[in-house]
């Protein structure tokens, strides 16, 4: 009998801080597809292997579920009755879902009017206690870091080390599937927890820690991409009023600042940023040439990879993985506005009218 997949903690139990008696809070996260792009490399006339790690297929539609299964498992193990986070939308949806699964309460702080519709819908459905603040993510983050001293709640943002432990399993999955680490790993950077987690996972499998047997021969070059209006890693200093259409990464004061710089330096990688237009173009390209729909922030990874392949910074012959952090359905408004010129035709409901509509568009 094949073993039923029960989530990433079970799969990577020996590399995660759980014991035999730990009650695991899981919704079947992880084990997401690693999809090789077929059309885009041909389109750009480059000999490169580009894979996308489609994290939008996690239970709540983003990579946050990897960290949340660990953070909520440990919060429950430590006796917590409530969790709290600040969020640009995905963390709040994930926290809300895992809190339900655990039977505890989730309090989420979100910037009023600045989170995508899909994320708001999920968080409402899961029944989280939503607190909208009249400021941005960074302001919310500052408050939740202080609130834990004033209320009996566990913080589940990525400053919680268990979040990083859960998220590092994405690197394990990539190596398990490819047989070794890729040459380059490209991902969007906001609060910088995910780049920190991937780097930890890659290093562990390359046995850099000295404690574990090596599974991979190397760790990849880490390439972190931001939106031009929210790019503290490019300016080298915090940004007070971040702005971007990619609301998931509308962050100016990343919490994992030092860890992200360490990942960049130790891997020989780099940070770069792109305009909203370039990010949205990559999102559309992925959907229309590969049939893969990610949210705007996620497309920063592909925008960056294509830019750096084009300039030769990432040489031909490379194996590249781009993380697609969230599902395209998270942000239907941006998707529909991107396709304003592709309005569906409206015809009479007759065989003849439909036949004409098809033949005209062949």
Which residues of the chain form contacts with ligand F0G (CB under 6 A)? 62, 64, 87-91, 158, 188-194, 248-249, 295, 297-298, 325-326
Nearer to ligand F0G, 253 or 356 (CB): 253
CB of 260 to ligand F0G, least distance (A): 8
Nearer to ligand F0G, 104 or 230 (CB): 230
Nearer to ligand F0G, 62 or 283 (CB): 62
Nearer to ligand F0G, 139 or 207 (CB): 139
Nearer to ligand F0G, 89 or 118 (CB): 89
Length of the chain: 362
Nearer to ligand F0G, 69 or 87 (CB): 87
Q: How many CB atoms lie within 10 A of CB 349?
A: 6
Nearer to ligand F0G, 207 or 329 (CB): 329
CB of 328 to ligand F0G, least distance (A): 10
Nearer to ligand F0G, 26 or 167 (CB): 167
CB of 278 to ligand F0G, least distance (A): 16
Longest Cα–Cα distance of the chain, Å, equals: 71
CB of 199 to ligand F0G, least distance (A): 12
CB of 211 to ligand F0G, least distance (A): 25
Nearest to 137 by CA among 55, 237, 255, 58: 255
* 271: Cβ contacts below 8 Å, ≥ 6 apart: 189, 223, 224, 225, 226, 231, 233, 234, 264
CB of 68 to ligand F0G, least distance (A): 10
CB of 333 to ligand F0G, least distance (A): 15
CB of 120 to ligand F0G, least distance (A): 12
């Amino acid at each position: 009998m094949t073993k039923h997949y029960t989530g990433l903690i079970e799969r990577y139990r020996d590399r995660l801080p759980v014991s035999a008696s730990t009650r695991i809070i899981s919704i079947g996260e992880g084990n997401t597809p690693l999809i090789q792009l077929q059309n885009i490399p041909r389109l750009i006339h480059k000999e490169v292997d580009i894979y996308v790690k489609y994290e939008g297929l996690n239970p709540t539609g983003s990579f946050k579920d990897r960290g949340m299964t660990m953070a909520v498992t440990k919060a429950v193990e430590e006796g917590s009755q409530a969790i709290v986070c600040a969020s640009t939308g995905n963390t709040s949806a994930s926290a809300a879902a895992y809190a339900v699964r655990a039977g505890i309460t989730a309090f989420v702080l979100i910037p009023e009017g600045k989170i995508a519709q899909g994320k708001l819908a999920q968080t409402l459905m899961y029944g989280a206690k939503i607190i909208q603040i009249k400021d941005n993510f960074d302001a919310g983050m500052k408050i939740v870091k202080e609130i834990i001293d004033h209320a009996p709640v566990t913080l589940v943002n990525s400053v919680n080390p268990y979040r990083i432990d859960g998220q590092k399993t994405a690197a394990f999955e990539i190596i398990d599937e490819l047989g070794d680490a890729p040459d380059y790993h490209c991902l969007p950077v906001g609060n910088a927890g995910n780049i920190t987690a991937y780097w930890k996972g890659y290093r562990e499998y390359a046995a850099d820690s000295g404690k574990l047997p090596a599974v991979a021969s190397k760790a990849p070059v880490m390439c972190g991409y931001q939106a031009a209006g929210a790019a503290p890693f490019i300016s080298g200093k915090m940004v007070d009023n971040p702005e971007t259409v990619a609301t998931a990464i509308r962050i100016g004061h990343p919490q994992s600042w030092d860890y992200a710089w360490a990942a960049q330096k130790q891997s020989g990688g780099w940070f770069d940023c792109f305009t909203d237009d370039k990010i949205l173009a990559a999102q559309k390209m992925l959907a229309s040439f590969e049939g893969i729909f990610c949210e705007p922030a996620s497309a920063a990874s592909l925008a960056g990879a294509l830019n750096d392949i084009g300039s030769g910074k990432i040489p031909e012959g490379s194996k590249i993985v781009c993380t697609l952090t969230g599902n395209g359905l998270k942000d239907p408004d941006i998707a529909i506005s991107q396709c304003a010129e592709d309005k569906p035709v409206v015809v009479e409901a007759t065989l003849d009218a439909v036949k004409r509509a098809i033949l005209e568009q062949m």
